[in-house]
């Protein structure tokens, strides 16, 4: 009997499936873009400057530098702050851009294991993998939950290295009341449509360091301050005015959207609590989770099928469950060829086999939330070992 037939009676997949993410955009964003289009000034300009200023103030740093993607924010930060050929210690369980941008900037990613409760890089394992060649630690605020930024700040200062924070999924996450990215020498954000705010495509580098901010600005514009005089090697990583116009409207909605995410996550967690072998997201004391994704983990020994079958069955019920990320970076072919393939990182490997994410975005209706709970409960109950 197929999974679909075995779970007959659920929400048909063809009937308005609930997406894993959905940007909350409307007439205000459309009006802002229309204004830019009719002005004829599409290139980076005053709106991008205003977005940089407002985001810097929100994060609590002196400088925000807008770029055209989250990946570009990482690339520009690495290029601006770190010496080519040095090592950067980062988690193996994250999106590829954390490491690929480092490698493209001429750095060597050194992968460390994670904690299974928060999915952040394990502090002790990271410290053990540092060497005289280490130039930076990279703390990733995965799924919208900030890591222990204070502890990583202390370790970076003790070892004399930079702290880069990849906060692509976590704009608005707090550590002891302070925006999580404010703890980094440089912090990087993404404004892809699935993120806490969107500009369509876009990103930001945030820093308190005047010199680093200046270098990031140079790098994102071909290394030039004025026309055709190039001080350093750079790229075109600029954010256009249409994207910035969307971002300004989105930023005004950010706190409301985070609160909606948190309400949805609280209801989903309450609805799924008590299911055997299901680990729900945690929110350590002093940290604010933004729930960019509501990510759970199963104990595989308690279920008759693997995680992928469970995800397929939930999707068949009309809920767009997804896996972020099924292959840890130290096992990716792109990095295995760089001598990292023989590293054993058991928590990262276990997470990659057992996590899946559910919708918690602010566009969910009350009925959507109930359907997410019902579909997930139904599938897990069907496959639980008795």
Q: Using one digit for the tens of pLDDT, what is the confidence trace for 95-142? A: 999 999 999 999 999 999 999 999 999 999 999 999 999 999 999 999
Name the token pair of 312: 């397929």
- The pTM for the full model equals 0.94
Cβ(265)–Cβ(173) under 8 Å?
Answer: no
- Average pLDDT of every residue of the chain: 94
Whether pLDDT at 202 is above 50: yes
Residue 18 β-bridge partners: 319
Kind of pairing between the strands at 87-91 and 134-140: parallel
Check residue 336 and give its pLDDT.
Answer: 75
Cβ(119)–Cβ(95) under 8 Å?
Answer: no
| Order of strands, sheet of 355-358, starting from the edge strand that comes earlier in the sequence | 278-279, 294-298, 355-358
Helix ranges (DSSP H) in 138-239: 149-159, 210-219
Check residue 4 and give its pLDDT.
Answer: 40
Collect all residues with Cβ–Cβ distance below 8 Å to 199 and sequence separation of at least 6.
191, 239, 243, 244, 246, 247, 250
Domains and their CATH numbers in the chain: 3-22+254-383 (3.90.1150.10), 27-250 (3.40.640.10)
pLDDT, one tens digit per residue, over 142-163 is 999 999 999 999 999 999 999 9
Whether pLDDT at 7 is above 70: no
pLDDT, one tens digit per residue, over 348-367 is 999 999 999 999 999 999 99
Q: What share of the chain is helix, strand, coil (3-state, %, to 5)?
A: 45, 15, 40
Cβ(114)–Cβ(94) under 8 Å?
Answer: no
List Cα–Cα distances, 172 to 1, 189, 288, in angstroms.
45, 10, 8
């Amino acid at each position: 009997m197929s999974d679909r037939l075995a779970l007959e009676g659920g929400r048909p997949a063809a009937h308005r499936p609930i997406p894993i993410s959905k940007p909350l955009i409307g007439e205000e964003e459309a009006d802002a873009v229309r204004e830019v289009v009719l002005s004829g000034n599409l290139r980076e300009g005053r709106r991008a400057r205003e977005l940089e200023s407002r985001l810097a103030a929100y994060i609590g740093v002196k400088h925000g530098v807008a770029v055209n993607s989250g990946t570009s924010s990482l690339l520009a930060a690495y290029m601006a702050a770190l010496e080519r050929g040095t090592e950067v210690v980062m988690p193996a369980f994250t999106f590829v851009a954390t490491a690929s941008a480092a490698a493209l900037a001429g750095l060597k990613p050194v992968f460390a294991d994670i904690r299974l409760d928060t999915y952040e890089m394990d502090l002790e394992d990271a410290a053990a993998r540092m060497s005289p060649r280490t130039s930076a630690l990279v703390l990733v605020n995965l799924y919208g939950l900030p890591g222990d930024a204070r502890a990583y700040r202390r370790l970076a200062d003790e070892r004399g290295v930079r702290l880069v924070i990849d906060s692509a999924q976590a704009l608005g996450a707090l550590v002891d009341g302070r925006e999580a990215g404010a703890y980094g020498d440089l912090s990087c954000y993404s404004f892809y449509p699935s993120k806490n705010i969107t500009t369509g495509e876009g990103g930001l580098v945030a820093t308190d360091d005047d010199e680093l901010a200046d270098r990031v600005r140079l790098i994102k514009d071909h290394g030039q301050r004025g026309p055709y005089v190039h001080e350093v090697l750079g790229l075109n990583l600029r954010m256009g005015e249409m994207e910035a116009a969307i971002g300004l409207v989105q930023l005004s909605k950010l706190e409301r959207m985070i609160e909606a995410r948190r309400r949805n996550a609280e209801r989903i967690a309450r609805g799924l609590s008590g299911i055997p072998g299901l680990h729900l997201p945690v929110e350590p004391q002093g940290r604010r989770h933004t729930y960019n994704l509501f990510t759970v983990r199963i104990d595989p020994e308690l279920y008759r099928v693997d995680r992928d079958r469970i995800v397929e069955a939930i999707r068949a019920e009309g809920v767009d469950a997804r896996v972020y990320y099924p292959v840890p970076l130290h096992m990716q072919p792109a990095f295995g060829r760089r001598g990292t393939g023989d590293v054993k990182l058991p928590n990262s490997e276990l997470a990659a086999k057992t996590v899946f994410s559910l919708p918690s975005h602010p566009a969910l209706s009350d009925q959507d939330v109930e359907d997410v709970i019902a579909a997930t409960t139904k599938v897990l109950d069907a496959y639980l070992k008795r």
